[in-house]
Structure formats: structure tokens, C-alpha cells
A and B are shown apart, each in its own frame.
Chain A
């Protein structure tokens, strides 16, 4: 599912190592929120033409998490693309264990940080064309497919 070598330009579907972001996290039992910094692997989700636009200062990445953290009963569904928000990633010899992109953890990054990471060998993999189309399709399903909800017309909730 990966190209033998990186795409020439930074592209949708590229995997980046060690991106750092800061966020505020409120634990339910804590009196104050914590400000955390996390370093994650992540996949660029912003489309190529959007990334290339000079006016696009912000891009979006999805966190790459280890498949091993998912319960065994669920892994099969993720591998079969049956779980909306988990795009499965095969292991790769570059150091990527079998993983998944978690669409529920999409973060915005300054594009300059992504470019700097790419320049510092932080870009480690590129999806091939088929996998990129599959990524787009699953993103469409995740954002666009109506979920099973109890919401009915004129009734709050759901």
C-alpha cells in the first residue's frame, strides 16, 4: 500500500513521524485542566492541491496509532475497513508497526511545521495511488455517511 520511495512532493497520505502538538485536557476528576504536549505519528489528510496553495496556512493530519492497542475482537473489522474512523495501515520495514489512522483524532497543524518535518526526514512513507483513493473514500464515508442515530425530525438529540 506504500510507494517504494516517497513522493517527490509532500502529499496526502504521507506518514510523518514525531509531530508535536500541545492541547488542553480536562480529566473528569481533576480540578484544573492540564496542558499536554504529545508527539505522534500522523498522516497528512489535506488534499494535495489544498496543501500546495500558498494561502493554505493550516493543514490537517490524522493520528496514526498502533493496531495492537485495539481489542482482538475489533482488529478484524478495522483491517477489513469496516470501522469508519480507522483506516488500517500495514506494517512497513521503515519502522512502522501495523497501525491505523484514527479519523476521530484529526489535528490542525501549521503547514510550515509539516514542511519542516519533511525537510528533517520526518516524512517516512507515502501511500500508493490505490491506497490514496481508498483513504479518500473512507474519509468520505466517515464524514459523509449518515450514522445510525435515534435523531428524528423536529426532535433534539440523536
Chain B
């Protein structure tokens, strides 16, 4: 078995079907840079789909739970941030101020 560095890298050239011309240009620049680093890699995988999709999807809750939307999640986040801010304010108040109401 030859050492990793002795083996020619297999270069996979994917097609970026959804990329804009600007991103394709950037992508090609990256590709050029990476090809200059062949000695460092045994295999070059230049697309995002070589690894299998994540498996074992775990769903957060039953279908009957309240729907999660961007707005609902953002609202929950705002409430959390507000509660943290309140607790920080309360924690930072000197005791004398608390006792004086």
C-alpha cells in the first residue's frame, strides 16, 4: 500500500448548478488553490454531497405540538433575552437600592 502522499488524488469536479456567476468564479478560484495542494490530500472532494445525508432524523416534537415558525422562534428568543436582561439588572442592583425599593 503506497503512502497516502504517493497516491494521486482523485479530484471530483461537481457542477454548481445553483451558483451565481460570481460564486462560480470564486469556486473556481478555490478549486485552483486546492489543486495546488494535491500533495497534502489523498482525495479531494469538492462538492457538498459526498458525505451521506444525515440519518436518524430526530424530530423535536409530535405533530400535534404548536407549530414552530420563524416568528414563534424569534418571539421565544426575545422573551428569553428579556428575562435574562431583567435577571442581570436585578443581580447588579446594589442591595441598598433593593432595600430602598
Asked whether A124 is an interface residue with its Cβ less than 8 Å from the other chain, the reply is yes
Asked whether B87 is an interface residue with its Cβ less than 8 Å from the other chain, the reply is no
List CB contacts (< 8 Å) of A105-124 with chain B.
Answer: 105, 117, 120-122, 124
List CB contacts (< 8 Å) of B38-74 with chain A.
Answer: 40-50, 53-54, 57-61, 63, 65, 67-71, 73-74
Q: Please tell me if the beta carbons of B18 and A147 are within 8 angstroms of each other in the complex.
A: no
Asked whether B1 is an interface residue with its Cβ less than 8 Å from the other chain, the reply is yes
What are 12 residue pairs bridging A and B, where the CB atoms are less than 8 Å apart in the complex? A17-B23, A35-B40, A36-B41, A39-B30, A66-B48, A69-B49, A69-B53, A82-B59, A97-B18, A120-B29, A133-B78, A137-B77
Q: Please tell me if the beta carbons of B46 and A38 are within 8 angstroms of each other in the complex.
A: yes
Binding site for A on B (CB under 8 A): 1, 4, 18-20, 22-23, 26-27, 29-31, 33-34, 37, 40-50, 53-54, 57-61, 63, 65, 67-71, 73-74, 76-78, 80
Cβ–Cβ < 8 Å partners of B68 in chain A: 80-82
